[in-house]
Every structure is written in structure tokens, then in C-alpha cells.
Structure 1
Amino acid sequence: MATGFRTVARFLILFGILGVFHSAYSAVQHRTYAKLTEQNVANTPIDILVECLTGFIVCTIGVVIISGSFREISATAELNDRPSENFTNRQSFYTFNHRGQILYESYELSDE
């Protein structure tokens, strides 16, 4: 990916985050003003909601641009280049500390 796209994507992410923070600050400021003037504080103004949603969308677009190309969803595309022995031989499932140590330990015969 060209460095120009990455720079644009970083600016989109920055502006998106700043937009969301500004809308949060505006919402807090609106609630404080509404409480001081004894107005209804239940509803947030529509311009603050639009600003928050726009910031979120811009930030999402920036993240999608900077993430690069997507991989295929199907498992066959990912697993074609791996041998089948990798699927049956899992070293993380090997257990050596089990009851077989006690059941099958070798006993020495004593002459009593």
C-alpha cells in the first residue's frame, strides 16, 4: 500500500477520534447548561449525535484503509499449504503425567 494512503488513513483516524471526543465534550457541556437553566436534560441535541456518528464513521473508514488487504474467509484457502499431519499431531495435547505411571510401573520381584 502506498504511503499516501496510510497518511490519509491516519488523518482520518485522528479526525474521527477528535470528532468523537468533541461530541462527548459538547454533550457534557449541554447537560451542564441544561441543569443550570433547569431545562430537560433527558435528550441530547441532534447535532451532537450526528457529530458523534460522523466521527465514528470517519474513524472506521480510516481503520479499514490502514488495515490493508483482507484474507479469504474460507478455511480451505488458509489450509491448502499445510500438510495433513499438522492436524492430527498436536504437541499441546501430549500428557505424560497421568495414571499410567502408577498402573504400568515395573515391579521387581523380591525373594522372600
Structure 2
Amino acid sequence: AGLVLLLHAGYSTYEHLAYLKAIGHKVADSSIPIDIVVECLVASFLAIVGAIYVTPELKPIALEHEMKKLTIDGVDGRSSFRVFNHRG
């Protein structure tokens, strides 16, 4: 809902500025109406709250959490360090 409201506020601003150009007012001298500003602020707040509730729970990034899942053979079992050309 926040994203739709934000798009609507942008479209309303575009229409307002087009109206000002049509009646001959300077766009640089005018300000955006307060209802569009309030709609933009409410839409931004709703979009932020929506993004917070939609995102999944964060996972820990510490290496120790991943190392608990692996065995020592899985971590140190790289074939590039196995030497078969030895004396014996």
C-alpha cells in the first residue's frame, strides 16, 4: 500500500506542476500542496513499515555458527593437499 501511495503522490505532483505550467505560473516560484506532501510522508512511512514486516529473520554471520554444522573432514578434506607422490 505504501508503494502505491508513493506512486500516486508522484503522479499528483506531476499533474500539479503540469497544471501550473498550463495556467502560466512559474514552477520554480510555487510549492507543492500540503496534501501531496502529507501523502508522500505517510506513503514513505507505510513503505518502510511494510518492508520491515516482510523481510525474513536475519541469520547470524559469525563463522562459528556455520562451523558447528560441519565436521572436521568436511572442512579440512581438500583434495589439493593430499600428496600421493611420497617416499614409502
Which secondary structure does the structure 1 equivalent of 2:70 belong to?
coil
Deviation at 1:19, TM superposition (A): 0.9
Larger radius of gyration: 1
> Runs of 4+ in structure 1 displaced over 6 angstroms?
none
- Which residue among 35, 42, 45 is the counterpart of 2:32? 45
Shift of 1:71: 1.7
Paired positions, count: 76
Please state if 1:23 is matched with 2:9.
yes
CA deviation profile, 1:29-73 (whole Å, cap 9, x unmatched): 111111012223236516324422321221221122122322224
Kindly indicate whether the alpha-carbon contact (under 8 Å) linking 1:16 and 1:56 is maintained by their aligned counterparts in 2: yes
Q: Which residue type is aligned with residue 23 of structure 1?
A: A
2:70 to 71, 76, 82: 82
- Structure 2: where are the runs of 5+ without partners? 79-88
Q: CA RMSD in A?
A: 2.8
Looking at structure 1, the residues matched to 76 and 33 of structure 2 have their Cα atoms a distance apart, in angstroms, of 57
Partners of 2:48 and 2:41 lie apart in 1 by 11
Percentage of matched positions with identical amino acids: 24
User: Under a length normalisation based on structure 1, what TM-score does the superposition of the two structures give?
Assistant: 0.50
Distance 1:52 1:79 in 2: 46
Q: Which amino acid aligns with 1:67?
A: T
Aligned equivalents of 2:68 and 2:33: distance in 1? Answer: 51
